[in-house]
């Protein structure tokens, strides 16, 4: 069978990794795919560097439009990133009848509906295993392996950069800026690293998983997004003392009222496997009604781990390209005409537990005031830690862990706590999940 011809858009970290792995393992990959997969054309702004990586025998151009318009190209692999030119190129490739592979979670989380609709109309495949959790085959697991299940919730460490930062800061005492630079040097960070730090990248990935898990459209605009930029070292230490670790978690859960879709720093019990996922590693915990909990762990970023997922998609397409489009696995796991219209809940309606840290005057009755406010709001306390004032100071830190409650009740209690004369400054609030 003649080779399937690939056009690669962007030969940076992931593009370079894809080229290398495909070259190194070409014989094994051909035996699996049933035909050779050949990168016939590469587009990159830096043509000289691209030529060096691609070598002879592969046409290199600076204008990516030449690739998506080339009738010889069967599959376009978009590894440029962002939602500008990448969107235009993907839409043109689809319009030209080409299958598309992309690692671009930002694009899919924001324009997925439009892209999948266009692809369905054209009968082409859009594959995106690399867009979520790098080398972990979580899309395949959710879409195919767990297809018998009614998925109840997913909780994941799905941003390598922030997990690397949190691990290095905790273990080596390094400062935030130094670790971020290292994450950028290692190729983990996004072109705009604020996407990593502020939780946006994790929310893009969570949005895609949520759509596949629950059969709802991708709705990034409804996700709650909080990053690690406001996290303080003292809370990481207090959490440890209470038997917890803080991780940037993406959580999506089906409830009777709607879907929770949220990314934020989260305390999780230190004994959970997820709490021990360190460095740039990712892990996704999926709870299904039949299978129970399953955990997927591996490298969530970097050139070759991500290339592993890109190439898996290429092999899938090489095998399926000639199949009747109606018999392919639907893009978002559910048939396009069977998508559900379940609302995504606002944060005030979500249910979880909380870590609250307050600075209080070291006076009689302070604790009674705090517990009364929580009791009035119907919030029950799970644990408490009081830190004596440091030498020469008269304010103490109080840390309260609550049982599960709705966020709106905690919000109301915090307003009342901050109004107390004995409480100084803002109450620090971090969500807590038992993940049991
Ligand atoms: P890089 O920045 O390393 O690579 C992007 C490449 O695209 C660069 O070589 C860039 O050239 C080139 N490029 C930019 N604009 C154009 C254009 N208009 N035409 C042709 N080429 C262009 O990014 P990554 O490889 O890290 O990421 C690529 C995609 O993969 C992104 O969507 C990212 O979110 C995703 N991803 C990345 C992972 C990672 O670990 N890095 C993991 C999972 C997904 P130049 O450098 O000259 O600007
Ligand atoms: N910037 C992303 C991360 C790359 O750090 O996880 C992988 O998607």
pLDDT digits (tens, 9 = 90+) for 228-266: 999 998 999 999 999 999 999 999 999 999 999 999 999
Q: Give the lowest-confidence range in 171-180, 206-215, 395-404.
A: 171-180
- Report H helices in 200-278: 200-214, 233-241
In this prediction, residue 392 has a pLDDT band, given cuts at 50, 70 and 90, of confident
The pLDDT of 171-197, averaged and rounded, is 90
The 3 state secondary structure assigned to 273-330 is: HHHHCCCCEEEEEEEECCCEEEEEEEECCCHHHHHHHHHHHHHHHHHHCCCCHHHCCC
Query: Ligand 2 centroid to 190 CA: how many Å?
Result: 6
Phi, psi dihedral angles at 245 (to 5 degrees): -120, 150
Q: Give the lowest-confidence range in 114-123, 126-135, 168-177, 235-244.
A: 168-177
Query: Ligand 2 centroid to 402 CA: how many Å?
Result: 32
Ligand 2, pocket-test mutation among 196, 199, 207, most atoms within 8 A of CB: 196
Query: Ligand 2 centroid to 205 CA: how many Å?
Result: 10
Among the bound ligands, name the one nearest to the CA of residue 14: 1
Which superfamily, per CATH, for 4-135+303-338? NAD(P)-binding Rossmann-like Domain (3.40.50.720)
Taking CA atoms only, the protein residue closest to ligand 1 atom 30 is 103
Q: What pLDDT sits at residue 135?
A: 96
Q: What pLDDT sits at residue 389?
A: 82
Q: What pLDDT sits at residue 250?
A: 98
Cα–Cα dist 150/146, whole Å: 9
The pLDDT of 327-348, averaged and rounded, is 96
Spatial CB neighbours of 30, under 8 Å, sequence gap ≥ 6: 36, 37
Q: What pLDDT sits at residue 325?
A: 87
The angle that helices 176-185 and 160-172 make with each other, rounded to 10 degrees, is 130
Name residues contacting ligand 2 (CB within 6 A): 134, 159-161, 188-190, 196, 201, 300-301
Q: What is the mean pLDDT of the chain?
A: 96
Cα–Cα dist 335/120, whole Å: 11
Pick the closest to residue 34 from 321, 407, 420, 305 (CA basis): 321
In this prediction, residue 174 has a pLDDT band, given cuts at 50, 70 and 90, of confident
Residue 133's SS3 state is coil
> What is the CATH code for 350-432?
3.30.70.260
Query: Ligand 2 centroid to 76 CA: how many Å?
Result: 22
Cα–Cα dist 249/222, whole Å: 17
Q: What pLDDT sits at residue 323?
A: 81
Pick the closest to residue 196 from 207, 208, 212, 184 (CA basis): 184
The whole-model pTM stands at 0.97
Annotated domain spans of the chain: 4-135+303-338, 138-299, 350-432
Among the bound ligands, name the one nearest to the CA of residue 183: 2
- Report H helices in 96-215: 105-122, 138-140, 160-172, 176-185, 194-197, 200-214
Say whether pLDDT at 336 is over 90: yes
Terminal Cα-to-Cα distance of the chain (whole angstroms): 50
Cα–Cα dist 190/203, whole Å: 13
Q: Is 214 in the pocket of ligand 1 (CB under 6 A)?
A: no
Spatial CB neighbours of 181, under 8 Å, sequence gap ≥ 6: none
Q: What pLDDT sits at residue 55?
A: 87
Q: Is 12 in the pocket of ligand 1 (CB under 6 A)?
A: yes
Please give the positions annotated as active site. 205
Query: Ligand 2 centroid to 107 CA: how many Å?
Result: 14
Q: Residues, the chain, total?
A: 436
Q: Are 68 and 89 in contact (CB under 8 A)?
A: yes
Fold topology of 138-299: Dihydrodipicolinate Reductase; domain 2 (3.30.360)
Cα–Cα dist 9/142, whole Å: 27
Q: Are 35 and 2 in contact (CB under 8 A)?
A: yes
Ligand 1, pocket-test mutation among 8, 42, 45, 89, most atoms within 8 A of CB: 45
Taking residue 76's Cβ as centre, other Cβ atoms within 10 Å add up to: 27
Cα–Cα dist 436/433, whole Å: 8
Say whether pLDDT at 433 is over 90: yes
Which string of b and e fits 20-45 if b means at least 16 CB within 10 Å? ebbeeeeeebbeebeebbbbbbbbbe
Q: Are 200 and 130 in contact (CB under 8 A)?
A: no
Q: What pLDDT sits at residue 409?
A: 98
Query: Ligand 1 centroid to 403 CA: how many Å?
Result: 43
pLDDT, tens digit, 9 for 90 and up, residues 34-83: 999 999 999 999 999 999 999 888 999 999 999 999 999 999 999 999 99
Cα–Cα dist 33/25, whole Å: 12
The angle that helices 160-172 and 233-241 make with each other, rounded to 10 degrees, is 70
Q: What pLDDT sits at residue 200?
A: 98
Taking CA atoms only, the protein residue closest to ligand 1 atom 21 is 44
Query: Ligand 1 centroid to 304 CA: how many Å?
Result: 14
In this prediction, residue 269 has a pLDDT band, given cuts at 50, 70 and 90, of very high
Taking CA atoms only, the protein residue closest to ligand 2 atom 7 is 301
Q: Is 43 in the pocket of ligand 1 (CB under 6 A)?
A: yes
Q: Which atom of ligand 2 is nearest to the CA of 195?
A: 1
Say whether pLDDT at 282 is over 90: yes
Ligand 2, pocket-test mutation among 165, 189, 203, 278, most atoms within 8 A of CB: 189
Q: Which atom of ligand 2 is nearest to the CA of 103?
A: 8
């Amino acid at each position: 069978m003649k080779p399937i011809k690939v056009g690669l858009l962007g030969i940076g970290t992931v593009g370079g990794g894809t080229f290398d792995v495909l070259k190194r393992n070409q014989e094994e990959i051909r035996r699996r795919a049933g035909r050779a997969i050949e990168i016939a054309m590469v587009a990159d702004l830096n043509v000289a560097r691209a030529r060096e990586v691609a070598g002879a025998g592969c046409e290199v151009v600076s204008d990516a439009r030449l690739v998506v318009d080339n009738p010889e190209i069967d599959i376009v692999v978009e590894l440029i990133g962002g939602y500008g030119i990448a969107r235009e190129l993907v839409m043109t490739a689809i319009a030209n009848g080409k299958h598309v592979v992309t690692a671009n979670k930002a694009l899919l989380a924001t324009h997925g509906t439009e892209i999948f609709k266009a692809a369905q109309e054209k009968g082409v495949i859009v594959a995106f295993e690399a867009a979520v959790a790098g080398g972990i085959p979580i899309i395949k697991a959710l879409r195919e392996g767990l297809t018998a299940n009614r998925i109840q919730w997913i909780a994941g460490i799905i941003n390598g950069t922030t997990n690397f930062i949190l691990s290095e800061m905790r273990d080596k005492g390094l400062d935030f800026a130094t670790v971020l630079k290292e994450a950028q040097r290692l190729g983990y960070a996004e072109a705009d690293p604020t996407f990593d730090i502020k939780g946006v990248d994790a929310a893009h990935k969570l949005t895609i998983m949520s759509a596949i898990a629950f059969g709802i459209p991708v709705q990034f605009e409804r996700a709650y997004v909080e990053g690690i930029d406001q996290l303080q070292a003292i809370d990481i230490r207090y959490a440890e003392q209470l038997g917890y670790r803080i991780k940037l978690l993406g959580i999506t859960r089906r409830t009777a009222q709607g879907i929770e879709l949220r990314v934020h720093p989260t305390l999780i019990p230190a004994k959970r496997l997820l709490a021990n996922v360190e460095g740039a590693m990712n892990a996704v915990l999926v709870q299904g009604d039949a299978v129970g909990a399953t955990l997927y762990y591996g490298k969530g970023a970097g050139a070759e781990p991500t290339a592993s997922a890109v190439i898996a998609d290429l092999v899938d397409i090489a095998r399926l390209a000639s199949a009747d489009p109606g018999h392919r696995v639907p893009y978002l796991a559910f048939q396009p005409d069977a998508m559900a219209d379940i609302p995504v809940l606002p944060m005030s309606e979500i249910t979880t537990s909380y870590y609250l840290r307050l600075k209080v005057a070291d006076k009689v009755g302070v604790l009674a005031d705090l517990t009364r406010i929580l009791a009035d709001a119907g919030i029950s306390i799970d644990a408490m830690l009081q830190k004596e004032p440091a030498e020469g100071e008269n304010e103490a830190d109080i840390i309260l862990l609550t049982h599960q409650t709705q966020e709106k009740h905690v919000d109301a209690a915090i307003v009342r706590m901050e109004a107390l004369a004995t409480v100084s400054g803002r109450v620090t609030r971090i969500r807590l999940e038992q993940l049991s």
